């Protein structure tokens, strides 16, 4: 009977050994997946940092452009006053050219502010998506 018991024990050990091998393989697979998740999280954190810096820089640039637009508006007001005080056609033409140029610059700056606003919004959406994905991981 001892031999039959030993054979039964050996069969149980073989089954346990197979189960351990299976679990060890599963652990290795999960470790690989965890490493992949860690890598993705690190990439997301890098992207988040870059996007946050971009939004900050765009905000700063936008503020500078808004300040420049205010200064241009003041220059336009002064040019209008000069146009009203013009005494001859030459002064009128010069003041009108100056006004046209200032208005063009102001339009360009307004477009830049709008474009920066759109880019900043895209960056904010990207930040939100990255934060959501990071939370999921």
pLDDT-based confidence at 1, cuts 50/70/90?
A: low
Q: Whose structure tokens read 């808004």?
A: 66
> Could you tell me if 66 and 113 are in contact, meaning their C-beta atoms sit under 8 angstroms apart?
yes
Average pLDDT of the segment spanning 97-124: 93
Distance CA 15, CA 21 (A): 10
Q: How many helices, marked H, and strands, marked E, lie in the chain? A: 2, 0
Report the alpha-carbon distance of residue 53 to residue 134 in Å, rounded.
Answer: 18
pLDDT at residue number 76? 93
Determine the average pLDDT of the residues in 124-133: 88
Does position 137 have pLDDT exceeding 80, yes or no? no
Neighbours of 104 (CB within 10 A): 11
SS3 category, 55: helix
51-102 pLDDT tens trace = 899 999 999 999 999 999 999 999 999 999 988 998 999 999 999 999 999 9
The whole-angstrom separation of Cα 41 and Cα 131 is 10
Q: For the segment 10-30, what is each residue's pLDDT rounded down to a tens digit?
A: 889 889 998 899 888 888 888
pLDDT of the residue at 80: 92
User: Contact, 79 vs 98, CB < 8 A?
Assistant: yes
Supply the pTM of this predicted model.
0.67
């Amino acid at each position: 009977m001892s031999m039959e018991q030993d054979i039964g024990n050996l069969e149980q050990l073989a089954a346990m050994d197979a189960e351990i091998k299976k679990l060890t393989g599963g652990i290795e697979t999960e470790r690989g997946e965890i490493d992949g998740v860690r890598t993705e999280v690190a990439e997301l954190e890098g992207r988040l940092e870059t996007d946050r810096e971009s939004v900050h820089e765009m905000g700063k640039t936008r503020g500078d452009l808004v300040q420049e637009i205010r200064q241009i508006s003041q220059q336009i007001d002064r040019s209008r006053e000069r146009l009203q005080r013009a005494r001859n056609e030459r002064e009128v033409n010069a003041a009108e050219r100056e006004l046209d140029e200032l208005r063009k610059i102001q339009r360009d700056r307004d477009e830049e502010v709008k474009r920066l606003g759109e880019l900043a919004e895209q960056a904010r959406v990207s930040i939100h998506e990255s934060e959501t994905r990071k939370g999921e991981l």
